[in-house]
Structure 1
Amino acid sequence: MRLALLWALGLLGAGSPLPSWPLPNIVSACNVEAPQVALRSSRQSQRRPRGSPWSPRSFRTISQLASKRCFRELVPGRPTLVWYQPDGTRVVSEGHTLENCCYQGRVRGYAGSWVSVCTCSGLRGLVVLTPERSYTLEQGPGDLQGPPIISRIQDLHLPGHTCALSWRESVHTQTPPEHPLGQRHIRRRRDVVTETKTVELVIVADHSEAQKYQDFQHLLNRTLEVALLLDTFFQPLNVRVALVGLEAWTQRDLVEISPNPAVTLENFLHWRRAHLLPRLPHDSAQLVTGTSFSGPTVGMAIQNSICSPDFSGGVNMDHSTSILGVASSIAHELGHSLGLDHDLPGNSCPCPGPAPAKTCIMEASTDFLPGLNFSNCSRRALEKALLDGMGSCLFERLPSLPTMAAFCGNMFVEPGEQCDCGFLDDCIDPCCDSSTCQLRPGAQCASDGPCCQNCQLRPSGWQCRPTRGDCDLPEFCPGDSSQCPPDVSLGDGEPCAGGQAVCMHGRCASYAQQCQSLWGPGAQPAAPLCLQTANTRGNAFGSCGRNPSGSYVSCTPRDAICGQLQCQTGRTQPLLGSIQDLLWETIDVNGTELNCSWVHLDLGSDVAQPLLTLPGTACGPGLVSSLGGQDQV
């Protein structure tokens, strides 16, 4: 399939983007040849009053979209839609057929280019040709039928904002550029890093967000546009984002929506666990609110929380009419759930490939420009998190989604297909015929999975995914599929690390391992009395976390070991953040002096939580950490 784009864009040095001439409609059916789309700027509309500080330049580019995919076929199944009647009755539409109005692809003749556009309600999306020639297409406010507004991304000014990690943030997993992955990870790299992961995503629109649109269809259209961008953002990380549900609180909010994002996040996660997850299985839920959060914060999530029934979610302020703004914000918060920390300052975390925005997605503050790419730091952080055992749910093959007619070319293998490597220009699999989605003669399997080598199935019992820690189990090829079976781990509460911790969500949380993640090899837990003294004081040097108002919470003596992470030895500088202050104190223990030292780590002004022990950390005989407290096991 081909979608030709004929452009004549006016490039502005500053100021508002210019309108363009009307566009022919793109046909909705994806199985026919799409007509040309002409984007032409009026030279008259570019004229500015004499004395303007800039003069426009116009150019004409004729490009061809080498391949496109409809959004309907990008989703391996039909998402569930939920809304509410005036009497509060919940209406559920399962297996909803999406309108064929969103497209992905790339521009022929531009290596590394990509296109993500929707015609559901006017023409919106992104066209990235090169870092210097990349554009956003938007409709004017309230004008869905008029011509789109075409802007260079460099000229797109959105409200500056920051992200604040939740007050229940867990231990970070990012490996800085100068600290490469350990050799123990190398042999497992291909199995979890190159294997495609899928995030089953539910987007929830609160009442203020739903009220911004005249009907549910307009809200659905915007959600589809956002979801398409999310999938585009994550694909370079070998992560697909599949929209499995949209819930709109059309009559009233089902939780308290507070200007304090920490309060809103806590309320939303409680509701997700109790009400959403039982009726709509998913990996992550993201709340989008039209309410303004206090301060510059536009989003909040919990670090390393993906696959957790309690904490895999985030809250996001719809802070811009541009879909790019909210899509970049959701990608940022979902990135935190996947173990990605904020990018380091300076030039140590460059954005790979086309990066027309001046920041990457995991930048703590966007400075008006939304990120479009994940940095090299984010890539390494995701690798390390996966290799450390995070994300077992991402390796499932989406068994719960309602099926729909197969579409050859969407890179999802559906009923009737033996393989799907994308369209002809996308396919690099020598085993798969991209035109039929059937195996080529002589091929037993497609090379999209670790259980296929040179188009032949690996024997049954060949280990396709080694263990990723004490709590993970190996997986073996079944002998009749190229795919490795879903990831399997020990159940929550099973002992690990020689009895020093228990398994929780497939990960072993030993105190020593957490110290080494922060302070490097050789780091060990602090002396018990030093640890208890610090965490029972409830300040920047030691606590059981912060409450939503930002105040430090003192640990009880019983909970102190499961509070803020307290370590000794290791590196002089932490792998995360920087040392803000040091405190030394000598404690008398039955006539013996014990020298204690504590650190106040500066994690950035937008990170609201000190580093707490991971859930499952052993805190005493029969006790394990439960986010600032203890549970019996």
Structure 2
Amino acid sequence: MPIIPDQMSYIIPINETLYTVHLKQRYFLVDTFMVYLYNQGSESSHSSHIQPQCYYQGYVEGYPNSIVTLSTCSGLRGILQFENVSYGIEPLESTVQFQHILYKLGNDNKELSSFNNDTKSLGKYSNDYNIYVGEKPEPPVPDIFPLYLEMYIVVDKALYEYLGSDSMIVTSKFIEIIGLINSMFTQFKITVMLSSLELWSDENKISTVGEAEELLQIFLKWKQSYLNLRPHDTAYLFIYRDYPDYVGAVFSGKICAPHYSAGVAVYPKEMTLEAFSVVVSQMLALSLGISYDDPKKCHCSEAICIMNPRATTSSGAKTFSSCSLSDFESFISNQDASCLQNKPQMQRQKRAVCGNRIVETGEDCDCGTQEQCGPQNCCDHRTCKLKKGLDCFEGPCCSGCLHVTVFVLESGVRRQTKHDECDFFDHCSGRSAQCAADKTIMDGNPCRKGTSMCFEGDCPDLNARCRSLFGPGSKNAPFECYEEIQSQMDRYGNCGKHEGKYRTCARRDLVCGRLICTYPSTTPYNRKGPGIIYALVRNKLCVTLDYRLNESDADPMDIQNGSACGTEKVNALKSTLKIWHYKAPALCCGPGRQWRMAQVLGICTRMGDQEKHLDPGFGSAWCAGRSGHCGVNQQKKEDLSLSLSLSLSLSTLPVKKKKDMAL
């Protein structure tokens, strides 16, 4: 399952100019969020299609005052707000590819101009509801930020129908509105949380006609009777009118007073979501004790402030003014704002959404829309379940919607893969679309014709390592080269370092320290970085490197784990250990290791249970009939930091020549 990032960026073209948008994940749906619907008077609720983790807010790079509010639930959907212009973006539903439409938002909500320009109406609106101001309490509790406002939204039948009569579409629009509201209230460190959404899809539960004051009182009574058991700090009724005389009603400064914490907001014909989010933000601000701005006295960083009466007719990013900030600080200090200090549980768990092309919890598959899936797909696009009689949707062990026992590569070629001599063939079980757990041969099992041993799934090849360092023709040096260089006890020849001093190599350990190779060329080694030393011994030009590392750093010239070291010995922390202590456990399998398995019969895996991997014809029943005891106390693997080297000779040869060319 894909991990949804908490931050992301997009490059979006606007008027042939590319803009980089930086986004950060925002959560504003509570854990108990539900959508309530009505059908012939019967109420139902659901929340399965809501994805709380795919909402983001951010800015446009190079435009510090810009605001971006986007949903990534299914394509990109939202608004990009610059200083004085806004753009909407949404996916093209009919296309299979990741294509979107970008359009400039209108800023001429003329149907509100009479309200905004009528100072008498504005005065009446802002003063008539500023009547329930409580007495000053004790000094405020300091440092109460951040704040959370849980909002319950009710949508009347007319607005539900105007927005499309589709519960998913209407829900997504109101979540988008809440996202826009949050982009404005971020300035006050307030998160407006959507607690639930109630859609009066069949009929209105109260009358929605009449004046603002009357309708607000009716809604308050209904709220107190029907919403007591549904968590919220404030409840709002959103209604639709073609050309209303008002845009809303609310009690000023009463956000935490249960009997007055409510509002009625009117959605006029042809109003944009951006403009309506400003209306609702103004109403919430009024309930937080914030008054409308006097444009002559109040200023903000944007072209127009949120509490300016004309803000709903202006596109672009908006912020609260200095006057609004002063009002809010006064409200927090002098009014009861305790309800804002309760942090609700916010949803952070991903919910499955069928059709988004992401396989999520509870889904077998997700191929997208009907057009994206096509008729031959293994997946039912309506349920995101496999079609009847089919096994799988995709995966390396899935072919033709059925489980198989061999890999199916992208090229269509069927084959099994094996990475190394110490690695088992990867295989498909025939019961899953994914390959079986990777298994490797147990550490200590002989490999490379007995010259090395398996270690963590690899069979080391010192000759190949020399070739990778010094080119074709290079190979692991003979013993006389190790004796010449390792006996010097300097940075090129040693058996490790302790407390800043090089360790002397015991004779039996000369080939168990650092890798020495034969040098195949007459051209000096000229790779920048390490120091290099050559030794000419019996017409063999030997070479090794020093990387000037700290004592705690891993040395790339250390002998590879799993290489043979001396005669029947291995290197443990650069000293020798009898090879049987390392190899024997690989030959002893089964519970308690009560029987010994010969190499011709099979080998053990590195799984924790020491699973037996037997050759064909030798199953568990055969093993059970054999007894015997290995008599080996296997050392803990962490105590066997094995660094091994192949030794071809034990003879001692005289020193001929040495040359140091430290680069």
TM range (shorter): 0.3 to 0.5
Query: Which of 1 and 2 has higher RCO (CA within 8 Å, sep 6+)?
Result: 1
- The two structures have a TM-score, normalised by structure 1, of 0.47
- The two structures have a TM-score, normalised by structure 2, of 0.45
